[in-house]
Structure 1
Amino acid sequence: MADSNPANFANLPKDELREIAAKGGHASHGSNSQAEDHPDRNPDGTFTKGSELAKELGAKGGHVAHEHAVEKEARNPDGTFKAGSKLAQELGEKGGHAAHEK
């Protein structure tokens, strides 16, 4: 059943929806001026060849991905920790230290 609310996106014309979506895309990806201001970026926003920033961010992403993989191995499908999980021990210690710092 169609809603009569004019603010409902389903009721907007397709061209207006595209315009709104384009604004969101430009806002989230930044404009080319941001890329031009950064020496490690090409005008299209991609990294320049051999970019130190690309190496740094790639390494950071690799570490995060590895942490998630380790965490996934330490957990049961329902999200609880597996018995004897090293991650559970580490996080428990971290929580205990944080509780005593307050």
Structure 2
Amino acid sequence: MADSNPANFANLPKDELREIAAKGGHASHGSNHDSHPGRNPDGTFTEGSELAKELGSKGGHIAHEHQIEKDGRNPDGTFKAGSKLAHELGEKGGHAAHEKH
């Protein structure tokens, strides 16, 4: 049975619920633009933002490290012991060296 309490959120019109939810979102994220330098009020980066450059660089380094690890390499770029990639590349190099002579 539906609750007849007017304060019950289930009984409120949808547009009123959206308005209340938006107020909560604004309060939790803060409407003070100065609290997030380098970002627009909608959360996107401002043009030429140093924060965007910094975070993009960090993301690139992390992605590169994950790719290296996935390829059978250590973070310094050397091959891990027993690396399948090292075996494949060594084999290709050997064949290429013999083809030239």
Q: TM-score category by the smaller chain? A: 0.3 to 0.5
Q: TM-score, normalised by structure 1?
A: 0.43
Q: What's the TM-score once normalised by structure 2's chain length?
A: 0.43
Larger Rg: 2
